[in-house]
């Protein structure tokens, strides 16, 4: 097990190799938001040099846990893990007011609210297939998209075009990623156990989370919590789509050249090492010219969702989303494709002017448009 105390000490005396890639510091332009500074504060609290106050605790939540600092750290230390450890099971009176006010909502089975009856009926049309992968739409997608687009309808449309067999839960439990990564370990584990039990009861053989953060939770969070999923295979969305395209060999209806850039979400990229599969998909489409942003792959900035940052510090999320959109704009691309629908929604919910940046599409929406 990682020695959090020693890692915190080493981070606190480092010469800040991670500062330039920190998604939060890059957006706020505040030295106080650097991973080094937050680790330094945690180290002083550990040694009684600072009092643990709500103002100090707030620094533990001014982090998206994107893990870019870990990638930049020469010795391989993880300042994000320091802050994650510091969040666990804090007394409510120490939590930032923004977090106290939404704790119950975040820990609930429906953190984004109930899905509409239309969405329930749409998902209810999926015929269960025990041998096919289970698609986890995720609570954010089930609650509706940022711009009212029928994301679930587009998922079903694309699956039909690719001849895919799959299953879905009409009543889908939350993965528990929000409460878990925000430090509410008990609530996160409860939600995780509910989903794991439902998957075991349904004899699920493989699962494809459409949200990169749900993928991250199943890949990283469940083992850490000791959640048993048996022999269920975890498959990322880009891997699943790539396998379907290779098998189906669909015709693409793209006319002319389209400049496209790709955003690596944190859960798929740094946590899942899923970098090449989505790019391989884009390169298969005739006329698509892939142009990379200045920060990409393991250095790609977080969209701002940050497994809960959008709840605790919406103003930071807004700055991060606008920074990412600007990086996309600087490539000259007409479309920014993300590997995660949550990234797309977060960007669209927060950017100041959609007309000045590339069109933002997740990989499902883009493929549904490209395949007749």
pLDDT along the chain (372 residues), means of 10: 62 63 88 84 86 90 91 80 86 88 93 88 77 93 84 94 93 95 95 96 95 97 94 97 96 88 97 96 95 94 94 94 96 97 95 94 96 94
Place of tokens 């997740």: 362
Radius of gyration of the chain (CA): 20
Q: What residues form DSSP beta bridges with 119? A: none
Residues constituting the chain: 372
CA distance 327 to 317: 15
What does the pLDDT read at residue 16? 62
Q: What's the fold here for domain 250-370?
A: Rossmann fold (3.40.50)
CA distance 331 to 119: 36
CATH 3.40.50.1860 residue ranges in the chain? Answer: 117-239, 250-370
What CATH number does the domain located at 117-239 have? 3.40.50.1860
Q: DSSP secondary-structure letter at 361?
A: E
What does the pLDDT read at residue 1? 40
**Cα-based distances in Å from 274 to 12, 51, 134, 218, 268:** 30, 41, 20, 15, 5
What does the pLDDT read at residue 4? 67
Q: Give the pTM.
A: 0.92
Structure tokens at 39: 């680790």
């Amino acid at each position: 097990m990682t020695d959090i105390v020693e890692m915190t000490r080493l981070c606190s005396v480092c010469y800040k190799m991670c500062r330039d890639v920190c998604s939060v510091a890059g957006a706020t332009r505040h030295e106080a938001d650097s991973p080094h500074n937050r680790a330094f504060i945690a180290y002083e609290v550990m040694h009684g040099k600072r009092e643990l106050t709500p103002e100090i605790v707030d620094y533990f939540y001014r982090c998206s846990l994107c893990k870019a600092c870990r990638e930049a750290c020469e010795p391989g230390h993880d300042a994000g893990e320091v802050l994650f450890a510091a969040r666990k099971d804090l007394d409510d009176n120490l939590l930032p007011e923004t977090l106290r006010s939404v704790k119950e909502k975040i820990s609930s089975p429906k953190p984004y609210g109930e899905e509409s009856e239309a969405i329930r009926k749409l998902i209810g049309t999926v015929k269960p297939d025990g041998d096919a992968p289970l698609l986890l739409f995720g609570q954010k997608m089930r609650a509706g998209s940022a711009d009212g687009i029928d994301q679930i309808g587009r998922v079903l449309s694309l699956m039909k075009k690719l001849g895919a067999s799959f299953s879905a839960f009409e009543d889908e439990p939350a993965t528990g990623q929000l409460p878990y990564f925000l430090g509410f370990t008990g609530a996160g584990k409860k939600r995780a156990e509910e989903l794991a039990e439902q998957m075991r009861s349904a004899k699920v053989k493989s699962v494809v989370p459409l949200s990169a953060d749900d993928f991250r939770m199943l890949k990283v969070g469940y083992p850490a919590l000791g959640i048993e999923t048996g022999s269920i295979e975890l498959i990322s969305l880009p891997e699943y789509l790539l396998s379907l395209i290779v098998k189906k060999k669909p015709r693409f209806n793209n006319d002319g050249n389209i400049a496209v850039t790709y955003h690596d979400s944190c859960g798929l990229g740094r946590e899942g090492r899923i970098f090449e599969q989505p790019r391989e998909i884009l390169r298969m489409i005739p006329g698509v010219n892939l142009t990379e942003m200045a920060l990409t792959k393991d250095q790609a900035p977080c969209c701002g969702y940050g497994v809960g940052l959008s709840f605790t510090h919406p103003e930071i999320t807004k700055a991060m989303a606008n920074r990412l959109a600007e990086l996309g704009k600087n490539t000259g691309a007409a479309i920014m494709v993300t590997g995660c629908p949550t990234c797309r929604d977060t960007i669209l919910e927060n950017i100041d002017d959609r007309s000045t940046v590339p069109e933002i599409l997740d990989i499902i929406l883009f493929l549904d448009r490209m395949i007749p």
